[in-house]
Amino acid sequence: MIACCSRADASLSRGKLSKSSSAELATLYSCPADMPTRNLRPLAPLAAALLVAGNWLGASGLAGQGVHHHQAARMSMACLYAIEAYGPNAEDLARIVEEALDEVDRVDRLMSHYKAPSDVSRVNREAARHPVTVDAELFDFIAEAMRYNRDSAGAFDITVGPLMKAWGFFRGDGRVPSEEEIASARGHVGGAHVTLDHGARTIAFDAPGVEIDLGGIAKGYAVDRVVGLFRQRGVVAALISAGGSTIYGLGAPPGRAGWDVEIQDPIESGKTALIVQLKDRALSVSGSSEKSFEAGGMTY
């Protein structure tokens, strides 16, 4: 599933984060409507999207209890990061939430393969010619992603970039590639094409055409960074939503046991398949409902 954009709608009685079109989001948050989306590639063809049920209350709703409430959202990593948080000081809380959104932007600048100046884009441009030195944070992150690749026997693969491009999912609406294109792309996909030198902190590719795409993991990392920041700053409870597909519930909102999260039915989008409750836990889903195209009577 793509990191689908969602928005907080205060008029909804249960406070869901509902999906909106990119044009609606551009109007609401002054973001470019044509911002490219990023893929979370599924391991199974699930077509579920998350809808978050939170307490989207006004900031003054908990003042009498000595706990303040703040919510904010920002387009980053090609989706909407929405945060709802509770803390003991209203001014500090607003500032901390902005810090958290700034941290998401920082991760995007480091790891986006859509942004030419990012370190990941630099690796993709240069690593087939020579080993590329990167900072410790990115190196350790990629090393961990490569471990996931090995542990999953290749099911999770950050080198899938050539296939994403062949199928038109990178800055495009999708296309059916030829068998020759598919074979060529597959020849550049796989963890064996990437060499990591832990001592020198360098990344190298064994051939031109190999590319790293962190779209299936970077959003969750940004959420983890936000959670870590909130814990350090004393935020007592928060709900962090990365595009509606990756959610973390920190603590629990006042008067509740946790954060209720609705999983959208994969067949009938207006229905709820399951409700789960998060408290100091994360949930992420992926599927094919948001990033797909039709050709020749087939859906890809």
Alpha-carbon torsion angle 194, 197, 201, 204, nearest 10: -30
Exposed, middle or buried: residue 173 (CB in 10 Å: 0-12, 13-18, 19+)? exposed
**CA proximity to 38, closest of 141, 164, 146, 156:** 164
Task: Considering the chain, tell me which residue range(s) the CATH 1.10.3980.10 domain(s) occupy.
Answer: 119-205
The CATH fold assigned to 6-112+217-299 is T-fold (3.10.520)
Question: If pLDDT is split at 50, 70 and 90, which confidence band does 65 have?
Answer: low
Q: What is the pLDDT of residue 23?
A: 29
Token pair listed for 221: 């990392």
pLDDT at residue 2 greater than cutoff 70: no
Q: What is the pLDDT of residue 22?
A: 31
Average pLDDT over residues 117-133: 97
Token pair listed for 139: 């190196």
Question: If pLDDT is split at 50, 70 and 90, which confidence band does 87 have?
Answer: very high
Q: What is the pLDDT of residue 270?
A: 85
| Percent helix, strand and coil across the chain, each to the nearest 5 | 30, 25, 45
Please name the helix (run of DSSP H) or strand (run of DSSP E) that holds residue 281, with its range, or none: strand 281-284
Question: If pLDDT is split at 50, 70 and 90, which confidence band does 185 have?
Answer: very high
Q: Are 56 and 71 in contact (CB under 8 A)?
A: yes
Average pLDDT over residues 78-103: 96
Average pLDDT over residues 191-217: 96
Q: Render 239-267 in DSSP notation, one character per residue.
A: EEEETTTEEEEES--TTSSSEEEEEEPSS
Task: Considering the chain, tell me which residue range(s) the CATH 3.10.520.10 domain(s) occupy.
Answer: 6-112+217-299
pLDDT at residue 46 greater than cutoff 60: no
Query: pLDDT tens digits, residue range 221-271?
Result: 999 999 999 999 999 999 999 998 899 999 999 999 999 999 988 888 788
Greater pLDDT, 129 or 291? 129
- Could you tell me which CATH class the domain 119-205 is placed in? mainly alpha
Lowest mean pLDDT of 161-165, 192-196, 198-202, name the range: 161-165
Token pair listed for 78: 């090609």
pLDDT at residue 212 greater than cutoff 90: yes
Question: If pLDDT is split at 50, 70 and 90, which confidence band does 60 have?
Answer: very low
